[in-house]
Amino acid sequence: MAKETGRKLIAQNKKARHDYLIEDTYEAGMVLTGTEVKSLRQGRASLVDGFAQIDGGEMWLHNVHIPEYSQGTWTNHAAKRRRKLLLHRAEIDKLIGKTKETGHTLVPLALYFKDGRAKVEIALAKGKKLHDKRQTLREKQDRREAERAMSRARRKQRA
């Protein structure tokens, strides 16, 4: 069997970028069982409602749904069990200090395979208020309208 290289995306949490202001991102390895890896290789996972938490100096991923492997038997895993994340001690210590600040949380942004190993991208994030979300949407809409106007102007110049 050939060795996998590159990055293969499994799941993405697009809502996190809408609901949170992303301050910093970290790549963490995951401690998984065999049936979880097989289920992920089939491209099945959901990061919605997922979050990370530091407990006893270790980081844990909660509420991430990895469905049971269809060909699994009694060795199958629980779909929403908590999973240990692998980070360097210095990164965990830094995150402990940051998450003690009010409003900061750890959310998973993406789940992917990198060179054959399951990884999760964790973000240190701060919750957005409703008016911040509206402002972000307005800015995005303004950018789109400006791009449309510029492309129309370019088309008229060519004609």
Q: Where are the domains of the chain?
A: 7-128, 129-159
Task: For domain 7-128, give the CATH number.
Answer: 2.40.280.10
Q: Is the pTM higher than 0.85?
A: no
Instruction: For residue range 9-57, list pLDDT tens digits in order.
Output: 888 888 888 788 888 889 988 888 777 787 788 877 888 888 888 888 8
Cα distances from 144 to residues 15, 20, 77, 110, 131, in angstroms, run 20, 22, 44, 25, 20
Instruction: Tell whether the model's pLDDT for residue 1 goes beyond 80.
Output: no
Number of other CB atoms surrounding residue 152 within 10 Å: 10
Q: What is the mean pLDDT of residues 112-128?
A: 85
Instruction: For residue range 80-97, list pLDDT tens digits in order.
Output: 778 888 889 998 888 888
